[in-house]
Amino acid sequence: MKRKKENLSSGRKSLQYRGTKCLNCGHPLDRSDVYCPNCSQLNSDKQLSAKDFFGEFISSILVYDSRLRKTLKDLLFCPGKITRNYVEGQRLKYANPFRFFLSVSIIYFLATGLINFFTPNEEIVSRNSETKIGFNAMMDSISANTSRTISYADSINKEKPLKYYSDKELDAMPFTQSYKERFSLYNDFYEKHKIKNAGIALDSLHHRNTAVNRWVYSKNTTVEKISEDPTEFAQYLITKIPFFLFFFAPLFALFFWLIYSWKEYTYMEHMIFIFHIFSFIFLALLIAIIPDLLIGSKFFISCFFLFIGPFYFYKALRNFYQQSRVLTLLKFVFLSTVFVIGLTFAATIFVVASVAIY
């Protein structure tokens, strides 16, 4: 490949085109400099020909391509090796871990979105939701809760009038109770009058038209929107997962940092390890989708979550941190527990926060 690159740009590299000043950054250059030591642009004042231009373009693709190939190969087949090499200084060999994670997750969601779009039958929709790390279960419980509140509101409508509180009375209550009562009052009011405009509703309730009150009132429509179409909300949640993991990673890295601190890895290096693991998860899911789709079951996805995923995580820990089997196994159990509990906890907050801004 090196020779190919040489051929493509040999003309521009020749001595007759070398200058004494970098055309890109103005750094003083020697005639012997092939590249600028400051910004690494080629030292050449030759006018750009089509051949030069496309040559540069193709060689940049080839470099990117080889970087991508190395990243994929090491990430998929040598657990922990990529992080070890990267942390030890082999940066240019691999793609940037954060950018790579975002790219892979974006491709994953585009691919699942496409599959959902082209095969909108019941079975595949439910299968894909299950791959999405239990979010569907959470959605079900949310919509179950919503329908409960609505039927509760219905029974209120039939049996007794609104239980009215004034703004002052609500303010006097303890914080959580105040929010609960305010929400159920607004919910009852909404169920009864179906007024969508928060300003008008607050006015007829004789409540202050503040941003908080408008927000609490507007959640009525959100609840209705979600219970009418839970899948749409699930889709909305799912597109936010990469960003959610992005914010979850620093928290998770804290536990790595706690139990591996003596090994003198920096916090950032633990983060890189975690992002490599996350990237592997999305890559493996992406790979498992195709055979699962063909045989019409969740065999490969289940295999991944039950065997391949945990095994890979253990191997990556052992190869990257290089501790004994027993120690690695103990830390593997600890970190997996933290991962599951932490993810469940963070996901709950994430779902609640998503409802708040949906």
Positions touching Zn ion (CB under 5 A) are: 22, 24-25, 27, 36, 38-39, 41
**Which of 229, 226, 274 minimizes the C-alpha distance to 249?**
274
**Which of 111, 113, 76 minimizes the C-alpha distance to 315?**
76
Collect all residues with Cβ–Cβ distance below 8 Å to 142 and sequence separation of at least 6: 226, 230, 233, 351, 355
Q: Smallest distance from the beta carbon of 94 to Zn ion, in angstroms? A: 25
Comparing CB distances to Zn ion, the nearer of 26 and 291 is 26
The DSSP symbol for 304 reads I
Comparing CB distances to Zn ion, the nearer of 39 and 330 is 39
Which residues on adjacent β-strands are paired with residue 35?
A: 42
Q: Smallest distance from the beta carbon of 39 to Zn ion, in angstroms? A: 3
Instruction: Return d(Cα 273, Cα 260) in angstroms, integer.
Output: 12
Q: Smallest distance from the beta carbon of 333 to Zn ion, in angstroms? A: 52
Q: In this structure, what token pair is assigned to residue 192?
A: 């009864």
Comparing CB distances to Zn ion, the nearer of 29 and 75 is 29
Identify the burial level of 70 via C-beta atoms within 10 angstroms of its C-beta, where 0-12 means exposed, 13-18 middle and 19 or more buried: middle
Identify the burial level of 285 via C-beta atoms within 10 angstroms of its C-beta, where 0-12 means exposed, 13-18 middle and 19 or more buried: buried
Comparing CB distances to Zn ion, the nearer of 22 and 223 is 22
Instruction: Return d(Cα 253, Cα 274) in angstroms, integer.
Output: 7
Q: Smallest distance from the beta carbon of 38 to Zn ion, in angstroms? A: 4
Q: Smallest distance from the beta carbon of 175 to Zn ion, in angstroms? A: 59
Comparing CB distances to Zn ion, the nearer of 41 and 319 is 41
244 backbone φψ class: left, alpha, beta (φ>0; ψ -120 to 50) = alpha
Q: In this structure, what token pair is assigned to residue 261?
A: 């601190």
Q: Smallest distance from the beta carbon of 23 to Zn ion, in angstroms? A: 8
Measure the CA angle with vertex 143, ends 139 and 145; round to 5°. 115
Comparing CB distances to Zn ion, the nearer of 22 and 216 is 22
Comparing CB distances to Zn ion, the nearer of 27 and 298 is 27
Q: In this structure, what token pair is assigned to residue 110?
A: 């585009």
Comparing CB distances to Zn ion, the nearer of 13 and 219 is 13
Q: Smallest distance from the beta carbon of 13 to Zn ion, in angstroms? A: 16
Identify the burial level of 79 via C-beta atoms within 10 angstroms of its C-beta, where 0-12 means exposed, 13-18 middle and 19 or more buried: buried
Q: Smallest distance from the beta carbon of 43 to Zn ion, in angstroms? A: 8
